[in-house]
Amino acid sequence: MSETFDIIAILKPKPGKADRVIELLAGVTEYVEANESGTLRYHLQRETKGDAPQLILLERYKNKAALGIHGGSPQFKAFSKRLKEEGLLAAPLQVMFTKPVAGFASRL
C-alpha cells in the first residue's frame, strides 16, 4: 500500500493581493522542486473568473515525513510569516487532505 497522499490548499487573497501571493509562492515552489525530493507535486493554479481569484495549490507527498520536512522548511515558514505580516489573505488558508478515488492524472 502506498503512503503517498495529496493536499489541496485554497488561498483566498484580499482584492489586489493575488499577484503578491503568487510572487511569494513562486519562491517556495522553486525551493521545493530543488530541495524536497519527497514532495512529488507542488503546483499552483489560479482561478480565472471573478474579481478576487482564489489560488489552488495541488500537492502530493511521498509520505508524512516529507510533509513534515516541507512544513518545517525555512522557506515555507517565511512564506507563512509574510502572509500574516502583510495581511494578504481574506480568509484563513483552507487545507484538505485527499486521496484519488477515480479518474486519471495525465495522458502524458
Q: Is the pLDDT of residue 1 over 60?
A: no
Where residue 2 falls among pLDDT bands split at 50, 70, 90? low
pTM above 0.95, yes or no: no
Q: What percent of the chain has pLDDT over 90?
A: 84
pLDDT of 107 reads: 87
Long-range contacts of 82-90 (CB under 8 A, 24+ apart): 82/24, 83/21, 83/24, 86/17, 86/20, 87/14, 88/13, 88/14, 88/17, 88/20, 88/21, 88/24, 89/11, 89/12, 89/13, 89/14, 89/17, 89/21, 90/12, 90/13, 90/14, 90/15, 90/52
Mean pLDDT of the chain: 93
Q: Tell me, what's the pLDDT at 100?
A: 85
Pick the CATH number of 5-98 from 3.40.50.300, 3.40.50.720, 2.40.50.140, 3.30.70.100: 3.30.70.100
pLDDT at 59 over 90: yes
Taking the chain, what is the end-to-end CA distance rounded to the nearest angstrom? 24
- CA–CA separation, 92 and 13 (whole Å): 10
Query: Among the listed ranges 3-17, 44-58, 90-104, which one has the minimum average pLDDT value?
Result: 44-58
Report domain extents, the chain: 5-98
